[in-house]
Structure 1
Amino acid sequence: MKKVLLLFTCLISWNLYGQGLPGLGSGSTPNNKPILHGKNWVAITGKPLGATAGAAIFQQGGNAVDAACAMIAATSTMWDVLSWGGETQALIYHPIEKKVIAINALGYAPTGATVDFFKSQGMDYPPQYGPLAATTPGTPGGIMTMLAEYGTMSLEQILAPSMELAKGYPLEAQTANAMEAQKERIKQWPYSKKIFLPHLGEEREAPVAGEIFVQEDLYQTLSKLIEAEREALAEGKTREEAIYAAYDRFYKGDIAKEIVRGTREQGGLFTEEDLANWKVKIEEPSHVNYKGIDVYKLQEWTQGPALLQSLNILENFDLKSMGYNSANYINTVYQAMSLAFADRDFYYGDPAFVDSPMEGLLSKEYAKERAKLIGDVNDPKIGPGDPYPFQEGTNPYLDILKSNQEAMAALSPEDINQSLDDQFITDFLSGTTTVEAADAEGWVVSVTPSGGWIPAVVAGNTGVGLSQRMQSFVIDEKLNPYNLPEPGKRPRVTLTPSLALKDGKPFLSFAVQGGDSQDQNLLQYFLNVVEFGMDVQEASEAANFNSYQMQSSFGDHEIRPGAIVLRKDTPDWVTKNLSKRGYSIELWNKTSGPINAIWFDWKHGSFWGGSSDYGDDYGIAW
């Protein structure tokens, strides 16, 4: 044990050594944070202890899927804007089959969650918080399915770091302060109050940074999963069968019963059948080719295809000649995103329930038509297009589409020039975390797990914090007829890992936290690498911009047409030029959530890892 701890200390020391010293970056400006160089493996996620969990699994001989599962489990236990009742979305490169596989472990709407139900409650949207905001838990099933199908280790090995964390670990300031800031809402829910507010009645009721945070109920829940696995192995079951025995105990056994009891006690809609009938889906990803690079995203139950649409549109422009973050470049990319996200807002939904026109939306011909709408000045009234003619079909919602387009065209100057108030920004950028892992055998995993962030409703005595993802549905079909709540239906979410292949081999694995801004930041990250030759760390630290000319997927689903956020070091001549083009500009110190990525150096047989230079995100390589 001492040798392992010493190794981690050395790894972390080597990774931190020389931060900020000249010459560490490959570009003309040194990176603030060093590149992670590895020959055998790379593990990156949203918390340092989470990355250590992944490194521990690699050191025990696990592959990238094993390590990714351990990191998801650890960050869920640490409430890194997710918990065990949230959702997990992943892209996995399978080196034997030489293909990208999509993991859909998003929970669905419970029994009774209908448009009429939410309207009867006087709601314009499903709520942001509380038991009615919860979809069924997806992360436990996602971890166990990925591990059983593509990993090599036991669930007990994978959960060992999480169980140690649940016994008690020193809490980070970010999480401790979130508990204190949200304590009035937390007090509504008895099981949440028991965990998050151990100092009730004192001036500060949440833990302080560095305090040992104990989660006994969660520890017992994880112990039950290990117990189910052990019993199955003792009966002669295979590794995979034993993991699925634990899966069944969570979704069909005593754990499920307590989740349902505790959720319904607090006003939720879950039934035992809801949990028993939910399944992880292993799917084909969506993808397009951008200048010889195959870019993969999850299907239209996420916003991922909007990045692919943006790339198709931008392929019609010479971005490199415009120059990185020039006024022409920003104007072009901003409008391409506006076009793609207008389509996202209207057409995307759960393909198990609706038939979104993805063939048309992702066609190069449709992209060319959309590209013609990009002008020298911003158009804040851009609305969804009609992709059906590009797949030889007829739009079944032409009347609603026309109404939507007319509503955008009728926007007043006051609508366009609204400020970015704090609540809108908080909703728009609602976070997730990311997990990136790769190994020498060729396995690559990119994940954006989320849901069950603080303040979360904890489901009875399980220690499991429930998702808040129901809020991503709409209940007005004029906004999106494809994304209306129904029992068993998954909401269209913002969560969006990314993988890119070049010459049939992994090229770039990348993901970011940040709600609706995710695919904006990832699009710019990809272009930074492909068009402007940045390395993985330079691209993570580079200035980018955020558009708010799209519906927020959270809260009241608001939109801020024409609004753009630039980093404060943007030159004056660029901001003045964009202002003349009709943009409402704000300048911020940081313009994206933390971006984590792995680039594959096939010439030298090594990995390059990049991790944002702010926030708690961290990586380890060997």
Structure 2
Amino acid sequence: MKKFAAFLLLILLSFRLYAQPTQKPMLYGSSWMAITGKPLAATAGSMIFQQGGNAVDAACAMLAATCTMWDTLSWGGETQALIYNPKTKQVIAINAMGVAPTGATAAFFKNKGYQFPPEYGPLSATTPGTPGGLIFMLHEYGTMSLAQVLAPALQMAKGYPIEAQAANTIERQKDLIKQWPYSKRVLLPHLGAQREAPEGGELFSQPDLFTTLSKLVQAETEALRKGKSRKQALMAAYDRFYKGDIAKEFVRGCQEQGGLITLADLAAWKPIAEDALSTTYKGIEVYKLKQWTQGPVLLQALNILENFDLKAMGYNSPEYIHTVYQAMNLAFADRDFYYGDPAQLPAEPMKGLLSKAYAKQRAALINPARNDAKIGPGDPFPFQNQPNPYLNLLKARGYEPDSSKRNFAPKHDLGRLPEDENYHDRLWRGTTSIEAADKEGWVVSVTPSGGWLPACIAGNTGIGMSQRMQSFVLDPALNPFNVVAPGKRPRVTLSPSLFLKDGKPYLSAAVQGGDTQDQNLLQFFLNVADFNMPVQKATEAPNFNTNQLWLSLGGTKVADREPKPGQILLQSQTPATTREALLKKGYQLSFSERTSGPINAIWFDWKHKTLWGGSSNHGEDYGIAW
């Protein structure tokens, strides 16, 4: 009788889930769709579409606009994207992540007393990737000029009504901002007043940034005047940023404030078009960026979850939450130890990590009755016919590839609740997302970030520098593939997604939120693929987060980043029966109305040849379609 009652309750909850209206309406379009983290930036994308640009042009305009609006990123940060090219029917991965500069070594930071590179200031800066990434995408896959694409951002740099969220963030963090003279001059226009930041709705102008962006357009215009091609003119703008007068001022301002970036660092850096990594889940092709991001976590988790009947468990039932939580823990344990920059040795074991056989082995570790606080990295090397050269490091951390040999929980596995707001700030920090699609078939998913408030501005450029160096480690025992070194890219959290079905775009999605990105994207995708939710409902559906992972951002001590095994963040309205069942499985529960960053997504309706857009009810994210 109890089993029947529980089954009936599950049916009623499922009915409520599908019957409830969404807080935001579904977006529908047939010609194009533009979704991003700021309403004004979505408008910038729509302006480009209305001028005849394709989805890449529109994505670049949205990227430029969001960078100009601060809060979650600025121009000195990093950009990474997945692009579906309808002409080749291939997914292209864009790597526009900056690198560690000259002198950025583990010894350098250890001598300063750090256990991770700092989270703020000039010493946290990698080389800027967003300007080069934007120009590269426009050069290779766009149709418009840089002048056209930057026009909305240029207008905004002259002055736009700043949103209250960003303005209040500046005011809260003004003591940090005052440490850096160029940041203070730009971000605190009312210095000496009781409120030194701009007010929400105030026209916020950035003359230095306007000059820098104007110089890029000038370089392009002059090249075209001299008879250069569109692509050559774009490269003239690129060279002015990374090798010309903009580069010189950027480096001067960076070094004046104690940063390490050199002119040689800027000149040597280049964005890369690379192959995406992929797997299949129930016939759906899933594409992510390479292991310099956390993107393969989603692929690994899906490979593990293919071994379970999630639909039969029921949406967000205790069994479902437990199984997905355990799969995420297994994948993140591998991320934390094995992911790094593929352009530098040692080579990450991605063939083994993404093999279905390895996933089956990992799935067998899941105990349906309890959370495993001792779970650690596996050994994927045998699945690519190689010995694991790092078994000694795993043993030093208290891990054995065979979980039955793990006889203790490592020191950090103490299961503390993240009670302070600083923990959640580190978990969710930074980033925005951009989704664009057009009737020609171009699809773009971007998760740009870096240079968020409080940012250190490089000289008179108006450009806030990245803070991504903090995602490196200094101790190879934590991750031998992600130890900081000059010219190396840190392993970042940034993680756009593209999904194909029957050889055509099926879904495009991205979300902000640091280490939670692929947790929330995983659940969003399962909402659509396994539970047939419409895309808007899937973006708003309650998620849960695991904290049983090493944080990628925030703090300079190991204690700031340690995993918290069994700690789970649930949506506040989680039923009491689910709470009780999870407590019995050994979880420590915390609750929030917000359990996901704002997910933005596009679903492709091939039956009607239309685009369906979803933009989460959390945050300021916004979409426009036609």
Give TM-score, length-normalised by structure 1.
0.95
Q: Is the partner of 2:397 in helix, strand or coil?
A: helix
Does residue 200 (structure 1) correspond to residue 204 (structure 2)? The answer is no
In structure 2, what is the Cα distance between the partners aligned to 1:60 and 1:392?
53
Cα distance in 1, alignment partners of residues 373 and 505 from structure 2: 37
Question: 1:450-461 to 2 correspondence within 5 Å?
Answer: 450-461=449-460
Contact 1:298 1:305 in 2 (8 A): yes
Of 382, 392, 399, 1:389 maps to: 382
Give the deviation of 1:402 after TM superposition: 1.6
The structure 1 residue matched to 2:246, chosen from 239, 247, 255, is: 255
Letter in 2 for 1:387: P
Shift, 1:296, TM fit:
0.2
Match of 2:518, SS state, is helix
The CA deviation at 1:414 is 7.9
Structure 1 residue 312: deviation in Å?
0.2
Given that 2:98 and 2:269 are in contact with CA atoms closer than 8 Å, whether structure 1 keeps it comes out as: yes
For the aligned residues, what is the CA RMSD? 1.3
Shift of 1:428: 1.3
Distance in structure 1 (CA, Å) of the matches to 2:396 and 2:317: 35
Report the CA distance between 1:411 and its aligned residue: 4.0
In structure 2, runs of 5+ residues without a counterpart are 1-15, 401-405, 555-559
Q: Does the CA contact (< 8 Å) of 1:424 and 1:558 recur in 2? A: no
Aligned-partner residue type, residue 420 of structure 2 = D
Matched residue, 1:63: 54
Q: CA deviation at 1:421?
A: 2.1
For residues 238-249 of structure 1, what are the structure 2 equivalents within 5 Å? 238-249=229-240
Structure 2 residue matching 1:458: 3-state secondary structure = coil
Counterpart of 1:365 in structure 2 is 357
Looking at structure 2, the residues matched to 38 and 497 of structure 1 have their Cα atoms a distance apart, in angstroms, of: 22
1:202-239 superposed Cα distances (whole Å, 9 cap, x missing partner): 11110010110000000000000000000110111111
Q: Secondary structure, in 3 states, of the residue corresponding to 2:312? A: helix
Alignment of 1:214-225 (within 5 A): 214-225=205-216
The structural deviation recorded for 1:357 is: 0.1
Contact 2:377–2:399, Cα closer than 8 Å, also in 1: no
**Could you say what secondary structure the match of 1:37 adopts?**
strand
Pair 285,363 (structure 1): closer, same or farther in 2 beyond 3 Å: same
2:118 pairs with 1:127: yes
- Residues 1:521 and 2:520 aligned together: yes
Structure 1 alignment gaps of length 5 or more: 1-24
Contact 2:412 2:562 in 1 (8 A): no
Structure 1 distance, partners of 2:442, 2:323, is 36
Indicate the residue corresponding to 2:132 in structure 1.
Answer: 141
Q: Answer whether contact 1:92 1:101 (CA < 8 A) is retained.
A: yes
- Contact kept? 1:512, 1:595, Cα under 8 Å: yes
2:7 alignment partner in structure 1: none
Summarize the Cα distance change of 1:210–1:406 in structure 2 as closer, same or farther, 3 Å threshold.
same
* 1:564 corresponding residue in structure 2: 568
Q: What SS does structure 2 have at the residue aligned with 1:405?
A: coil
* Superposition deviation, residue 431 in structure 1: 2.3
- Equivalent position of 2:625 in the other structure: 621
The CA deviation at 1:26 is: 11
Judge conservation of contact 1:80–1:433 (CA < 8 Å) in 2.
Answer: no
Quote how far apart the aligned CAs of 1:372 are: 0.4
Runs ≥4 in structure 1, deviation > 3 angstroms?
A: 405-409, 411-414, 417-420
Greater mean alpha carbon deviation, residues 549-558 or residues 156-165: 549-558
The one-letter code sitting in structure 1 at the alignment partner of 2:353 is L
The amino acid that maps onto 2:231 is E
Rounded Cα–Cα distance in structure 2 between residues aligned with 1:406 and 1:40: 53
Q: Assess if the C-alpha contact under 8 Å between 2:544 and 2:569 holds in 1.
A: yes
Matches within 5 A, 1:375-524: 375-376=367-368, 377-406=370-399, 409-411=408-410, 415-524=414-523
Structure 2 residue aligned with 1:531: 530
In structure 2, do the counterparts of structure 1 residues 414 and 95 end up closer, same or farther at CA, with 3 Å as the change threshold? closer
Give the Cα separation in 1 of the matches to 2:418 and 2:445: 35
| Structure 2 Cα separation of the partners of residues 485 and 165 of structure 1 | 36
CA distance in 2, matches of 1:244, 1:411: 51
Give the AA of the match of 1:362.
Answer: L
CA shift at 1:27, angstroms? 3.6
Quote the Cα distance in structure 1 between the aligned partners of 2:17 and 2:582. Answer: 30
> Equivalent pairs: percent with the same residue?
66
CA distance in structure 2 between the partners assigned to 1:185 and 1:346 by the alignment: 32
Which residue is equivalent to 2:326? 335
Letter in 2 for 1:95: P
Residues 513 and 414 (structure 1 numbering): CA distance in 2 closer, same or farther, change over 3 Å? closer
Match of 1:356 in 2: 348
- Could you list the per-position Cα deviations for residues 281-304 of structure 1 after superposition, in whole angstroms to 9, with x for gaps in the alignment? 000000001110000000000000
TM-aligned CA deviation for residue 403 of structure 1: 1.7
**Letter of the aligned partner of 1:375 in structure 2?**
N
Q: Secondary structure at the match of 1:415?
A: coil
User: Shift of the alpha carbon at 1:614?
Assistant: 2.5
Q: 2:83 aligns with which of 85, 92, 106?
A: 92
Report SS of the residue matched to 2:474: coil
- The change in CA–CA distance for 1:224 and 1:483 in structure 2 (over 3 A counts) is same
2:545 corresponds in structure 1 to 546
Q: What letter is aligned with 2:595?
A: T
1:598 and 2:598 matched: no
Cα distance change on mapping 1:412 and 1:465 into 2, 3 Å: closer
Measure how far apart 1:412 and its partner are: 6.7
Q: Deviations over 1:498-534 (max 9, x none)?
A: 0000000000000000000000000000000000000
* Residue in structure 2 matched with residue 46 of structure 1 by the alignment: 37
TM-score (norm 2): 0.94
The answer on whether the counterparts of 1:528 and 1:539 sit within 8 Å (CA) in structure 2 is yes
Q: Deviation at 1:413?
A: 10
Task: Determine whether 1:307 maps to 2:298.
Answer: yes
The size of the alignment, in residue pairs, is 598
SS across alignment from 1:148: helix
> Displacement, 1:332?
0.2
